[in-house]
Structure 1
Amino acid sequence: MPMFQAVLFDFFGTLTCSAPRGAAHRATADLLGCPPEVFVDVLDRTFHKRATGRLGTAEATLRWVCEQAGVHPSDEAVRSAVAARHRAVRADIRLRAEAVPTLTALRRRGLRTGLVSDCTHELPAYLPHLPVDPLLDVRVLSVQVGRCKPDPELYRAACRRLGVEPAACLYVGDGDSQELTGAERAGLTAVRLAAPDLADHLVFNPDHTWVGAELASLTDVLHLLDAGERKGPFLTPAVEQGSLVNT
């Protein structure tokens, strides 16, 4: 029996390339009559509250953000800003070139695949339109389940939906939100994606103390699985030192 039956992925910075911030925030701030720097500051310091969905709908959440920023736009302006933000965020998303091929290869091998992401209302809206969506068996999104990483329940929920034990599941992420530590606490094996474009990637609550295998690209997930099948145990000493980073 294969050592792993499923692979879970983070979304931002893992299935996607690191994207410069700016366009989505500026467009939204302008429509709301809010200085962009103030708007960005509020977004940054309220991310987890927004990402757990506790503030309600996308419109209710944006209205709450405006209150924190000290502006009071009309309902029409808020609705326009929500629509503009969805368009701008979607435009900023660039899937990694290897994302679809890697997911396709995993499914051809008989492995199940899933997504575990900390996100606000935008991701559930545009994910169904992305080419990775049909290649995912489960999607556990923080804004829908009311929890953020590193809460182990996020990963366990994905495993339950997949019908696999956590020990039979690999988690791949860039290390944002202590996601790797959270995955391991839930009983999964975790590896960090350390692609070159992530050097300046915005990270909330990074996994500074986590030590484990690092991969240079999503394609290396397949190489790592192959190495584990040939050699076992899965994480050989060379891999534990992150030797695949430069492959």
Structure 2
Amino acid sequence: MPAYRAVLFDFFGTLTRAVRRGPAHAGIAQLLGCDPATLVEVLDRSYHARARGRYGSAEETLRWVATEAGAHPSDRTLRAAAAARREAIWADTTLRTAAVPTLRALRRRGLRTALVSDCTHELPDVLPRLPLHTLLDARVLSVEMGICKPDPGMFLAAAALVGARPEQCLYIGDGGSRELTGAEAVGMTAVRLRAPDLAGHLTFNPDTAWSGSDITDLADTIGLVDRVLEPA
């Protein structure tokens, strides 16, 4: 096997701690004029369509969501709700303690790093606020690509951006969106992060049949690189 040249990471639940919708989301429902439980139901069933950007911009998407939930907010209300949703996603996002040190350690070893994430319009706005933003050589976001994991295009685009062949890439993820089997299908080495906090993680289309390698701490990524293969 060739040496690793890059390590690719999922975002939610991998570089971050488990994600749960915080109290701010109920306020967004109130702002839009719809029932909070109905809003959550619409958000859940439309996740991958929204993550592909199917309904347009952030505000256009929120208008679609509100209509599905039985509300008809004004343009001004939509703008306010879209801003509130960005802040709610920000509030729900807590980096793992090991995220920044792990990325720094990989870069010291000469490896390239990339983010491969299914996400809605809010993540591209949130990322620049995070200290790991400058430690990523590339990002492949579903809402910008128009596809979601496990589509091979997500993984192949990331490999191309970091200048590596798929078999030279290590992929780390919690298993949402069947990302592990998706990464393996294009020739990458995939490893699941099975951290204790992920028991309550908000996830969609998980890799329930995954039987490959696991780690329990994001920092164990360094051990995989050092022990299994010498970096190029």
TM-score, with length taken from structure 2: 0.96
Matched, 1:76 2:66: no
Question: 1:187 maps to which residue?
Answer: 187
Question: 1:118 maps to which residue?
Answer: 118
Structure 2 distance, partners of 1:27, 1:206, is 29
Question: 1:3 maps to which residue?
Answer: 3
Structure 2 distance, partners of 1:220, 1:2, is 20
- 1:31-50 superposed matches below 5 A: 31-50=31-50
Question: 1:235 maps to which residue?
Answer: none
Structure 2 distance, partners of 1:170, 1:227, is 13
**Runs (5+) with no aligned partner, structure 2:** none
Letter in 2 for 1:183: A
Matched, 1:203 2:203: yes
SS of 2:34's partner is coil
Letter in 2 for 1:178: R
How far did residue 170 of structure 1 move? Answer: 0.4
- 1:78-157 superposed matches below 5 A: 78-157=78-157
Letter in 1 for 2:50: R
Bigger relative CO (Cα 8 Å, ≥ 6 apart): 2
SS of 2:72's partner is coil
**Runs (5+) with no aligned partner, structure 1:** 231-247
Structure 2 distance, partners of 1:117, 1:19, is 14
Per-residue CA deviation, residues 184-212 of structure 1 (Å, 9 max, x unaligned), is 11111100000000012122111011211
Structure 2 distance, partners of 1:88, 1:176, is 21
How far did residue 2 of structure 1 move? Answer: 6.8
Size of the aligned set, in residue pairs, is 230
| 8 Å CA contact retained: 2:138, 2:161 | yes
How far did residue 23 of structure 1 move? Answer: 2.1
CA RMSD, Structure 1 to Structure 2 (Å): 1.2
Per-residue CA deviation, residues 77-128 of structure 1 (Å, 9 max, x unaligned), is 1110000111121012100000000000000000000000000000001101
| 8 Å CA contact retained: 1:90, 1:126 | yes
Question: 2:213 maps to which residue?
Answer: 213
Q: Report the more deviating stretch, 27-36 or 106-115.
A: 27-36
| 8 Å CA contact retained: 1:174, 1:194 | yes
Letter in 2 for 1:128: P
Structure 1 distance, partners of 2:92, 2:203, is 17
SS of 2:229's partner is helix
Question: 1:239 maps to which residue?
Answer: none
How far did residue 223 of structure 1 move? Answer: 0.9
How far did residue 42 of structure 1 move? Answer: 0.1
